[in-house]
Structure 1
Amino acid sequence: MHAMNDYSSAIQLRSDRWSALREATGALTRNPTAKQQTALRKKTNQLFDSLAVIEPYWAFPGMAAFDHMRRQFEHNAFEELAFSVGRVTRALTTGAYRRRHIPLERDSIEAEELDDEALLSPEARALTKPYFEVLIVDNVNEYQERWLRNNVSRMRRPEDPFLYEALVVPSLEDALVAVLFNHNIQAIVVRPGLVLKSRMDQQMVQRFLNRAGDQEEIDNMQPEDYGPELCRLVAKVRPELDAYLVTERSVEDIAGLDLGICRRVFYNQEDFMELHLNILRGVQARNKTPFFTALVEYSKQPTGVFHAMPISRGKSISRSHWIQDMGAFYGPNIFLAETSATSGGLDSLLEPHGPIKEAQELASRAFGSKQTFFATNGTSTCNKIVVQALVRPGDIVLVDRDCHKSHHYGMVLAGAQVCYLDSYPLNEYSMYGAVPLKEIKHQLLKLKAEGKLDKVRMLLLTNCTFDGLVYNVERVMEECLAIKPDLIFLWDEAWFAFARFNPTYRQRTAMTAANTLRSRFRTDAHKRLYEAQQTRLEDADDEKLLNTRLIPSPHARVRAYATQSTHKTLTSLRQGSMIHVNDQDFKGEVEQSFHEAYMTHTSTSPNYQIIASLDVGRRQVELEGYEFVQRQIEAALSMRRAIMTHPLLQKYFRVLTAGDMIPAKYRQSGISSYYDAEQGWTDMWDSWEQDDFVLDATRVTLAVGGTGWDGDTFKTDILMDKYGIQINKTSRNTVLFMTNIGTTRSSVAYLIEVLVEIAKSLDERLDDASRMELRSFERRVKGLMEELPPLPDFSRFHDAFQACSVTGEGDIRSAFFLAYDENKCDYIDINGPLKEALDAGETVVSASFIIPYPPGFPILVPGQVVSQEILAFMLALDVSEIHGYRPDLGLRVFTEEALQELVDARDARPQIAPAAE
């Protein structure tokens, strides 16, 4: 009874099966009837079978103990079995196995002191040694396995900074499954005796091997290459791990191979102490937090402060008669670590050369970039830094129109010619999707036809979008580079920092895609494919180019930037963000301008606590990011399943699936939902590997129009005010629940309880409603679910700010600063006068950004012509917050005279004749 399709992950399956086994074995000890005992024995046996395919991949309780418990069951030793299973289940639940040996015999000394990690004080938890597991891959018999484990265990010393247990599997396939199953694994020892194939259930094994590589590639490996190839394959799924290769091959044979994550090669020796020290050293390299450690040491120093910041060392608080409560609330350490100094073992964020520099280098390694920079004032500032560093006045930038407002303001500051790209609309949910690749290619080909490709500088897209839509980053980059080989990509990954630490998600991150393309472009195979396609497309028109998967030149330059809000999805204090760079031309072309932009936007007094939290957050994801992200995805998938299968919740709520949010033509895999009530869970890997867009499972968009409440009312009046549940984003008829690495199964259960309570109260209210009240309710539901205004596309820039109507890019900077002159602007009421003006054929041009919340991005930008569709959308908006709009005055627009002056001035400028060819 594997029941893998009933679960989204093996970890959750394992946890639930042990809990169920504890209940079943406990029931066997309570004198059941013959009929009950038969049923319990059958259930227990099924549970043992189910766990038998999972337990070989975990060090605790270990297969020896597991087999012993099974023998207890077979010999009807139910009292001893129930005790052993209870101890294992409790140790797994509380984490006690991570701190001490767990005896499973009934006559062992009971050590049931508060072993639950969650009940330990932070100080007590900080004093315990971190625990991990070492995977040894070698096809050995039971005696040899015990010898290996014992030899590794004997090397451990009291002074070691970490605790670890060894786990032995026989094959390459088992090793790959183990690193995907077992988040405790931090190091792998690959010995020469490993074999290729697993003896476990092949259906289960195949499900996990997809993430590591092509099955045909694995099957065709030569035995002498199993060890090196395993190191390479593990690097694809968990690149943060360390591998150690024990080999009998010569150094010359090994030297030319791709050893992936291998840190050291041992040649035909059994030096377990050297191996032990290397394992500890490898984990310590990830455990380092240079800046956090420096800040802790600084806080311990006796320091006389004759500098800025009275709060430094807590002096202004400890001497106060009126703000002692602040000191009591935060405690002393945060003030001991407050300083404006860049000496004493600390460093400068603007000119790092010590622990901040080292911390950024470690972050670069963790996130797969070539350079990483910390920011202490959010990703909004990161976006402006990157844009200012790369975009010069007059450069054309292709921008996702519904990107974050910081990008639009960045375009103003840089003086870019902005070419807005429209996402596909989801009118029935009042939200936008993402920009189709054809739309991007179409715009690039238009610019090429107009002779403007040399002015195109950057493509800016949001990955993933607020609603969880994720691009096929690698394909977007390669096809765009096939049209413009030096195009720069800025991927706003504000909500996607966690993706690096899951093998399914990682493939769609900017840094992974950039590294993949850089490697591919260097191969002879890519060169041959490119040359063959160039021959086929020699006389191709735009239509054929749009419908062909284009292959870029081997000489294309990979230039990718990603901005991430570490504080949004990983562990960091608010406003802690990072900029990741993977730009082949950074050193020669960008480094100086990037430094200037960084200096422009970064405070000279950055918050050291934020920097320290970025350093510690990086340490966490390198050591346990895989586990935390996996649990985050599990929590979201459990939420989806619970809502989708609850009969009462289905009356009023609906979880939006990939099929709802992504049109079928962009889902090449054909997968429309991650869960089906009849078939169970769908493997997400297929869609994430193939589709143009995929849906991030950690975001659950719930259609709430069936309740009669709009999204904003449901969020504020119901979830927040009544139940204390915080969410961020809504649309007219949806609310978005976002899980994170701190989300627990308990918090998901609470949310489901709340939704059930809301549904029950609606049932009761409608049951008692009069006929008129029912009609009113039905009318509200219809208005929210059926009578929704179509989402408007970007209209156009006015001729005063647009040099070419064919390609449509606009000078947003001129429009923005023209609006500073009050004499050039006027206000017009959208309730009547504006419609009358548009109906009369007048051209009305916005003088400001208009940003309603929701959706939270500009529906009008300075210089944009107001269309009938945009007006209809504004009139239909039922939101309490619209940035840039004055309800008392109306919409701020440019006067006709101001616009005509600009057009006349431009027409009066002498035209430069094109150069003779």
Structure 2
Amino acid sequence: MSDLPTASVHNSVGQLRADAWSSLADLTHQLSDQATDAREQTAERLADLLALLAPVETCWAFPGTAGLDELRRLHENGEHQRLARRAEDLNRALGSDSYRNTVSPAGPAARPGGAPGISGDDETADDPASLDPGTRPYFEVLVVGDMDAAEEDALRKELHQLRRAEDEFVYELVVAPSFEDAVIASLVNSSLQAVVIRHRFADRSRHDLQVVRRFFEGAAADPASAGAPGENWRHSEERAQALGDRLLALRPELDLYLMSEASVETTAGRLSRRFQRVFHAREGLLELHLSILHGIAERFRAPFFTALRAYSQRPTGVFHALPISRGTSVVNSHWIPEMARFYGLNIFLAETSATSGGLDSLLAPTGPLREAQDLAAKAFGARQTYFVTNGTSTANKIVVQAMVRPGDIVLVDRNCHKSHHYGLVLAGAHVVYLDAYPLDEYGMYGAVPVEEIKRKLLMLKQEGVLHRVKLLMLTNCTFDGIVYNPSRVMEECLALKPDLAFLWDEAWFAFARFHPVYRRRTAMAAARELTDRYRDPRYAEEYAAHRERLGDDPDDETLLAHRLMPDPEKVRVRVYATQSTHKTLTSLRQGSMVHVFDQDFRHKAAETFHEAYMTHTSTSPNYQILASMDLGRRQAVLEGFELVQKQLEQAGVLRDAIDQHPLLSRYLRFLTTPELIPRRFRSSGVEQPLRTGLARMAEAWEEDEFVLDPTRATMHIGLTGVDGDTFKHELLMDRYGVQVNKTTRNTLLFMTNIGTTRSAVAYLIEVLVKIAEDLEERVGEMSPRERAAHHRVVNGLGSLSAALPDFSEFHPAFRPSARTPEGDMRAAFFLAYDDTECAYLTAEEITEAMAEGRSVVSATFVTPYPPGFPVLVPGQVISKDVLAYMQALDTREIHGYAPETGYRVFTEAALQARRAGAAAR
């Protein structure tokens, strides 16, 4: 079986399953084409493959065990031609997802001769689903219960008979006889949308699940690890509760239903928080069937998109702004008819400048737009969600302005997106910059260690200004894929300042909510976790023991050395997250969201947030962007888990394709977790989490201070002798149309997303092979002198050119206190508006001034692209490290700096006057 798929070479059960079905189709064709005496070996391989798929298919309704049983019967009966055709049909339907849209995806009970949905021989005229084929979304429902075959068939048959032509959706059943089967199915089968837990189910699976356990290593599927009492459970209610908790922790979007034979009235009162409804097992299935469909319908709702579509279909008379509305200025034009042909008519029919009525107002929503935002809040685990139509840059500014007054102190990662820096200028915050750990060899920064944040907070406490610290701002995950542990960061900070608010920039992390491992590292999940923890009476006991260990008056070094816990009597959880929906989920460009989980929002922040939102939000928002976010939310809650899992799989395929290619691996390699995250931040010791299965990945993401997002693949290209900027523009983009965003002098960042396909990965590999072949040919034809020059370039790209500079300091003219590092960046920013206060100096002139003992202070932001963060901010003292770094840069684009004029800096007179004015105040 060496040529058949094995778990050891796959990153997920989905990959293993897809390849196994493809191999199965190939083997059955070989079997049908071979002479009788040559079939024995192929038949053995086919039997091995069916055995491999047997435990896997228990997790799906299609093809499922019924499909395998049918193939097995055809094989045993020697019907090799029919076997090959049927295997090919099943494989094609599975690979293309066409089974979701077939006439009546009915299960084995309705189709005794075959698997769901694609048998051409079965009668379906009596099935209501056959009346409108291909128009209704298909999903699967997990039924947890230890049933024999007759019970299972009867359950399917009764639910099939309840189907009606007017049903919006159609579903099939997957039966899990045990706790373990249920958990594994929920992790494996992304088509599951609802779970029905019956009163009897076992702890452990009776199937041989070794092939799928490898991906979880037991931790994700072990009933004991859920806190379940195992065989000593006394009440089915307790068992259902434990299983429900586990399933919701893994996939909170699932609708849970309970079928009990106990007193359902009492059970419903105790378990209603977990379960949508509780049913008595002997009262029929109609209400259950209707509830399942209703639950999906609730998530399927897209109220604003529906309202916008209805508006576009209504005849209207426009006596207002926006001539493009209804398309009249376009379709009647003699000069721009291609606009209508290119975009289509609907986009114009759906345009309006009205801010009331059926379409609602973004600034004061009361109808479908408010419903859409409420549904988004539920989907992302927030208490409130706000749509933003001009990007996360604006979303960041809204939160900063809402939370910060002039003179408040804000802690922020110096390497965050420029919108944070500009937002702090507008708000008048006094900024304390935090330094991330550097990765000098690759020209990038990691993330800010929690020790660095604590050290700054303790220093501000010693100076008596901790009460002025209002907000901590961090990027999660970073552009290069470094992911924080938000729970740990917030908990340790709240131990030092219990009312500190947090802004997590999750511009590139919106997708993380919809994967069970990623979710724990999102801001909203962490906020919920901490809130629940501090409300638990047991936490007060843990905190008391913690305080006793620390002593009555611990010094700063003790506080830095220990993981801190906040006082439950004082702590307030105040968390904000900004997400670019358009970057990692489905939305038109500039579609973003602000998620809020703030215990003090209503009485401390609601009014200021509203004012900040009004300040930065257009009174003429783009309704197409809003509608796309509404639909993007629908997609995320119904198929987000599936899409993110595929995104992860494509990232693994990309890494494998490079690592295992004999030519590409000589020039290219992907950086690993140990290369991007130092050992001191990885207590789990897991180096490549994705390659070691979901359980090991979960272990690292549970324990480590920082983890690496597997969907971000940073490729080292130093051995090619081509710098990152040239490789990106001249080779990938200009020559082959391959788009990448981030480069450093010796790396390229490739990101898979929910739209990445295997074909796209294959095209990238094809392009890289062509580039590598051209390189091989070019190097092979070099003269000795040219080859020596090429090796010097390669060596240069493989070594450190200039260390990444830390933030130097704000000049005393812009520091309210000589004892603290806070800087009044707003004062410096607006002082530079007076050109008489500024001058231009070259790097050589600045070096000469430093030699004379003078401080040279930047009057502007200086931001190279890449890496895209400000190397200098207004009011910052220019250091030798900054000059050396800037001199070593080979990037094409630097905002705020022009080589022909030099750096814009403040004059000595301006600095002296500023200091004199500050002293007088």
Question: Paired residue for 1:474, among 481, 484, 487?
Answer: 487
Counterparts of 1:542-561 in structure 2 under 5 Å? Answer: 542-555=556-569, 556-561=571-576
Q: Which residue of 2 is the match for residue 584 of structure 1?
A: 599
Q: Which residue of 2 is the match for residue 121 of structure 1?
A: none
Report the CA distance between 1:698 and its aligned residue. 0.8
Q: What CA distance in whole angstroms lies between the structure 1 residues aligned with 2:114 and 2:909?
A: 92
Q: Which residue of 1 is the match for residue 655 of structure 2?
A: 640
Counterparts of 1:619-634 in structure 2 under 5 Å? Answer: 619-634=634-649
Deviations 1:749-788 (A, max 9, x none): 1111111121121111111111111111111111111142
Q: Which residue of 1 is the match for residue 93 of structure 2?
A: 91
Q: Which residue of 1 is the match for residue 61 of structure 2?
A: 59
Q: 1:377 to 1:675 in 2, by over 3 A?
A: closer
Residues 1:808 and 2:821 aligned together: yes
What SS is found at the alignment partner of 2:33? coil
Q: What CA distance in whole angstroms lies between the structure 1 residues aligned with 2:281 and 2:223?
A: 30
What SS is found at the alignment partner of 1:773? helix
Q: Is the 8 A contact 1:232 1:260 kept in 2?
A: no
Q: 1:109 to 1:894 in 2, by over 3 A?
A: closer
Moved more, 140-149 or 754-763: 754-763
Q: Is the 8 A contact 1:502 1:626 kept in 2?
A: yes
Question: Paired residue for 1:171, among 178, 201, 204?
Answer: 178
Residues 1:694 and 2:714 aligned together: no
Q: Which residue of 1 is the match for residue 124 of structure 2?
A: none
Deviations 1:603-646 (A, max 9, x none): 00000000000100000001111111110111011101111122
Counterparts of 1:11-30 in structure 2 under 5 Å? Answer: 11-30=14-33
What SS is found at the alignment partner of 1:134? strand
What SS is found at the alignment partner of 1:12? helix
Q: What CA distance in whole angstroms lies between the structure 2 residues aligned with 1:398 and 1:257?
A: 44
Q: What CA distance in whole angstroms lies between the structure 2 residues aligned with 1:18 and 1:104?
A: 22
What SS is found at the alignment partner of 2:289? helix
Deviations 1:692-716 (A, max 9, x none): 1111111111111111111110000
Q: Which residue of 2 is the match for residue 852 of structure 1?
A: 864
Q: Is the 8 A contact 2:499 2:572 kept in 1?
A: yes
- Which amino acid in the other structure matches residue 409 of structure 2? I
Residues 1:286 and 2:294 aligned together: no
Q: 1:106 to 1:742 in 2, by over 3 A?
A: closer
Residues 1:540 and 2:543 aligned together: no
Q: Which residue of 2 is the match for residue 902 of structure 1?
A: 914
Q: What CA distance in whole angstroms lies between the structure 1 residues aligned with 2:409 and 2:115?
A: 76
Q: Which residue of 1 is the match for residue 378 of structure 2?
A: 365
What SS is found at the alignment partner of 2:173? strand
Q: Is the 8 A contact 2:527 2:575 kept in 1?
A: yes
Q: Which residue of 1 is the match for residue 845 of structure 2?
A: 833
Q: What CA distance in whole angstroms lies between the structure 2 residues aligned with 1:251 and 1:71?
A: 43
What SS is found at the alignment partner of 2:498? coil
Report the CA distance between 1:872 and its aligned residue. 0.2
What SS is found at the alignment partner of 1:349? coil
Deviations 1:126-161 (A, max 9, x none): 972111111111101111111111111111111111
What SS is found at the alignment partner of 1:57? coil
Q: What CA distance in whole angstroms lies between the structure 2 residues aligned with 1:456 and 1:343?
A: 40
Q: What CA distance in whole angstroms lies between the structure 2 residues aligned with 1:242 and 1:320?
A: 51
Q: 1:246 to 1:273 in 2, by over 3 A?
A: same
Counterparts of 1:398-417 in structure 2 under 5 Å? Answer: 398-417=411-430
Q: Which residue of 1 is the match for residue 43 of structure 2?
A: 41
Report the CA distance between 1:274 and its aligned residue. 1.1
What SS is found at the alignment partner of 1:835? helix
Q: Is the 8 A contact 1:228 1:245 kept in 2?
A: no
Q: What CA distance in whole angstroms lies between the structure 2 residues aligned with 1:580 and 1:596?
A: 17
Q: Which residue of 2 is the match for residue 570 of structure 1?
A: 585
Q: 1:635 to 1:148 in 2, by over 3 A?
A: same
Structure 1 length normalisation: TM-score?
Answer: 0.95
Report the CA distance between 1:171 and its aligned residue. 1.1
Report the CA distance between 1:219 and its aligned residue. 4.4
Q: 1:32 to 1:508 in 2, by over 3 A?
A: farther
Residues 1:131 and 2:138 aligned together: yes
Q: What CA distance in whole angstroms lies between the structure 1 residues aligned with 2:704 and 2:8?
A: 22
Q: Is the 8 A contact 1:668 1:691 kept in 2?
A: yes
Q: 1:142 to 1:264 in 2, by over 3 A?
A: same
Q: Is the 8 A contact 2:215 2:695 kept in 1?
A: no
Question: Paired residue for 1:376, among 389, 413, 416?
Answer: 389
Question: Paired residue for 2:721, among 708, 711, 714?
Answer: 708
Deviations 1:33-83 (A, max 9, x none): 84x534322321221121112100100123133123223334443223222
Residues 1:220 and 2:213 aligned together: no
Deviations 1:797-845 (A, max 9, x none): 0001113344301110000000001111000012x22222223322100
Q: 1:170 to 1:293 in 2, by over 3 A?
A: same
Residues 1:735 and 2:748 aligned together: yes
Q: Is the 8 A contact 1:424 1:433 kept in 2?
A: yes
Moved more, 774-783 or 225-234: 225-234
Q: Which residue of 1 is the match for residue 125 of structure 2?
A: none
Q: What CA distance in whole angstroms lies between the structure 1 residues aligned with 2:115 and 2:747?
A: 57
Q: 1:681 to 1:295 in 2, by over 3 A?
A: closer
Q: Which residue of 2 is the match for residue 115 of structure 1?
A: none
Structure 2 length normalisation: TM-score?
Answer: 0.94
Q: Which residue of 2 is the match for residue 658 of structure 1?
A: 673
Q: Which residue of 2 is the match for residue 913 of structure 1?
A: none
Give unmatched runs, 5+ long, in structure 2.
Answer: 106-110, 121-131
Q: What CA distance in whole angstroms lies between the structure 2 residues aligned with 1:602 and 1:108?
A: 50
Report the CA distance between 1:201 and its aligned residue. 3.6
Report the CA distance between 1:343 and its aligned residue. 3.3
Moved more, 411-420 or 445-454: 445-454
Q: Is the 8 A contact 1:234 1:260 kept in 2?
A: no
Q: 1:682 to 1:38 in 2, by over 3 A?
A: farther
Q: Is the 8 A contact 1:846 1:892 kept in 2?
A: yes
Q: What CA distance in whole angstroms lies between the structure 1 residues aligned with 2:7 and 2:495?
A: 42
Q: Which residue of 1 is the match for residue 322 of structure 2?
A: 309
Q: Is the 8 A contact 1:211 1:503 kept in 2?
A: no
Counterparts of 1:743-762 in structure 2 under 5 Å? Answer: 743-762=756-775
Q: What CA distance in whole angstroms lies between the structure 2 residues aligned with 1:810 and 1:565?
A: 29
Q: Is the 8 A contact 2:226 2:242 kept in 1?
A: no
What SS is found at the alignment partner of 2:621? coil
Deviations 1:849-885 (A, max 9, x none): 0000000010000000000000000111111110011
Q: Which residue of 1 is the match for residue 128 of structure 2?
A: none
Report the CA distance between 1:732 and its aligned residue. 1.1
What SS is found at the alignment partner of 1:244? strand
Q: What CA distance in whole angstroms lies between the structure 2 residues aligned with 1:100 and 1:7?
A: 33
- Which amino acid in the other structure matches residue 93 of structure 1? G
What SS is found at the alignment partner of 1:562? strand
Report the CA distance between 1:202 and its aligned residue. 5.5
Report the CA distance between 1:683 and its aligned residue. 3.5
Q: Which residue of 2 is the match for residue 145 of structure 1?
A: 152
Residue identity over aligned pairs, in percent, reads 55
Residues 1:613 and 2:615 aligned together: no
Q: What CA distance in whole angstroms lies between the structure 2 residues aligned with 1:885 and 1:814?
A: 20
RMSD: 2.2
Report the CA distance between 1:259 and its aligned residue. 5.3
What SS is found at the alignment partner of 1:507? helix
Residues 1:878 and 2:865 aligned together: no
Q: Which residue of 2 is the match for residue 79 of structure 1?
A: 81
Residues 1:597 and 2:625 aligned together: no
Deviations 1:85-142 (A, max 9, x none): 1111111122221123578979999989xxxxxxxxxxxx997211111111110111
Q: What CA distance in whole angstroms lies between the structure 1 residues aligned with 2:115 and 2:401?
A: 70
Report the CA distance between 1:3 and its aligned residue. 3.0
Q: What CA distance in whole angstroms lies between the structure 2 residues aligned with 1:512 and 1:871?
A: 42
Q: What CA distance in whole angstroms lies between the structure 1 residues aligned with 2:350 and 2:143?
A: 42
What SS is found at the alignment partner of 1:183? coil
Q: Which residue of 2 is the match for residue 889 of structure 1?
A: 901
What SS is found at the alignment partner of 1:53? helix
Report the CA distance between 1:432 and its aligned residue. 0.4
Q: What CA distance in whole angstroms lies between the structure 2 residues aligned with 1:884 and 1:417?
A: 22
Counterparts of 1:228-239 in structure 2 under 5 Å? Answer: 228-239=241-252
Q: Is the 8 A contact 1:560 1:582 kept in 2?
A: yes
